[in-house]
Structure 1
Amino acid sequence: MIKHHPSSKLLAGYATGELPASIAIGVAIHCKMCDQCQANVDALTAQLADQVFDAELTEPMAYENEQFDLASEAEAPMDMDFGNMIAAITADDEISEQSMVRSTSITVKGKNFELPAPLNNVRMSNWLNIGKLSRSSLNLDEGAIHSHLLHIDADGEVPTHTHKGFEITLLLDGSFEDDMGTYHPGDFIELNGEHNHQPKTKEGCLCYTVADDALQFTEGFHKLFNPIGSLLY
């Protein structure tokens, strides 16, 4: 059962199309897994549509004072050569073919995972493996905001850390836990510098993550990596 959801602010931003692509992807995936949030987004979208419609009704019609002669309009010859128009369209070498949908599944450490639809056409890097952690970067070109798929093998963990900026984690498969609770597929976790945690997994898990700054390791020898943390997130 999903217990962690995007904030109302994120859901509103998603409905209005104002979120960065990486965060919008995370919200879209969550909504496909969570009927409650999908219903909230549908309601927000309907409200926005009503607001736009009402605004259009209050605007003066540009043509309300114009006079049209329907008879003369109907009798006017159509100065259009459909044969030449179609030929011009079919000869346009700028029209590109429809892009092919990428594979809907990935394999990590010998295990297959189905990708959520919002990730099907996103370019991903090769997997970087460090111990029980594997990471693939998503190429969304969003400057300081980086997004990844993160796989943790069974009995693996991420060293204890806090966050210089924000971090969003959406659990896609498996489960993990930290000092704040246990998480299951569909859980959408928002963290910032106020949180310090050590995610661990017994069965293994696959997550979609978004962050706008490096992790700050807070225990043991892992703190040695903090000076180059900006290169690791």
Structure 2
Amino acid sequence: MNTINHHPDKAWLDAYAEGQLYGGKALLLAAHLEFCPVCRHHVAQREQALSERCWHHDTSHQEQDATEAMLADMLSSLPDTPLVAPAPEAPVELQLEHRRFVLPRVLARQMPHLGSWSRLPGGLHQARLNAQGDDDRFFFIHMDPNTSVPQHTHHGEELTLVLHGGFADDRGEYKMGDFIHLDGRHEHQPFTDADEDCLVISALDKPLQFTSGLARVLNPLSQLFFR
């Protein structure tokens, strides 16, 4: 079983449980939770603590009576027919040429907004996910075995979730389910080994800044593609 070693910050998990996390952070964190029992447990504990706090919050008799009346009204309006559990969602696969990848449910629901795949130099493929109502830009990126992304830093934040396989950089190794948060303090060059490909989804709030050799000529394209 794959071990997840890279998790969102606990402050983000708390904000997610409180309904205070938005954009790329919320979408990728929700997908990470489908992989990670440790973070699911933390979020569940936080939600339980919040519910207990609300339940034991001191209220006046008038407020209690109003709440009980509202709940009674809601219960009385429920249909007489028994509730039926919804059917489990069928797995949704992302297809790239001859490859198929099963997606977390929260990402599978976004598939109607997926753009077409583009082949990039050096064994890379990229497809943009146009998630609705969001200022972040989302990209699925696939790396063939023995492939590297040009060295780059970040004008803003880069959030990455590994969906299949794994990659490495000078900071460590990342496998399926790992959640990586980088910003302008970080410069790296992700790469795969000869035996494993990798699929990730990344959320960016600003374009990447390529920093090495000929790759710097890609910076104008990065700005253009980000729009």
TM-score, normalised to structure 2, is 0.80
Shift of residue 63, structure 1, vs aligned partner:
6.9
Partner of 2:59: 59
Shift of residue 107, structure 1, vs aligned partner:
1.3
In 2, Cα distance between equivalents of 1:181 and 1:160: 15
In 2, Cα distance between equivalents of 1:18 and 1:148: 23
Partner of 1:172: 163
Q: Indicate if the aligned counterparts of 1:151 and 1:204 stay in contact, CA closer than 8 A.
A: yes
SS in 1 for 2:16: helix
Summarize the Cα distance change of 1:63–1:226 in structure 2 as closer, same or farther, 3 Å threshold. Answer: closer
Summarize the Cα distance change of 1:186–1:64 in structure 2 as closer, same or farther, 3 Å threshold. Answer: closer
1:215 aligns with 2:203: no
1:151 aligns with 2:142: yes
Partner of 2:174: 183
Number of matched pairs: 198
Shift of residue 65, structure 1, vs aligned partner:
9.1
Summarize the Cα distance change of 1:111–1:64 in structure 2 as closer, same or farther, 3 Å threshold. Answer: closer
Gapped regions of structure 2 (runs ≥ 5)? 67-88
Question: What letter matches 1:14 in structure 2?
Answer: Y
In 2, Cα distance between equivalents of 1:103 and 1:184: 21
Q: CA RMSD in A?
A: 2.2
Partner of 2:86: none
Query: Which has more radius of gyration?
Result: 1
Q: Percent identity?
A: 33
SS in 2 for 1:49: helix
Q: Indicate if the aligned counterparts of 1:102 and 1:121 stay in contact, CA closer than 8 A.
A: no
Partner of 1:109: 97
In 2, Cα distance between equivalents of 1:180 and 1:217: 18
In 1, Cα distance between equivalents of 2:97 and 2:192: 16
TM-score, normalised to structure 1, is 0.78
In 2, Cα distance between equivalents of 1:149 and 1:113: 11
Q: Can you list the C-alpha shifts for 1:92-144, whole angstroms capped at 9, x where unaligned?
A: xxxxxxxxx78700111311111111112112111122132212222223454
In 1, Cα distance between equivalents of 2:134 and 2:208: 17
Partner of 2:224: 231
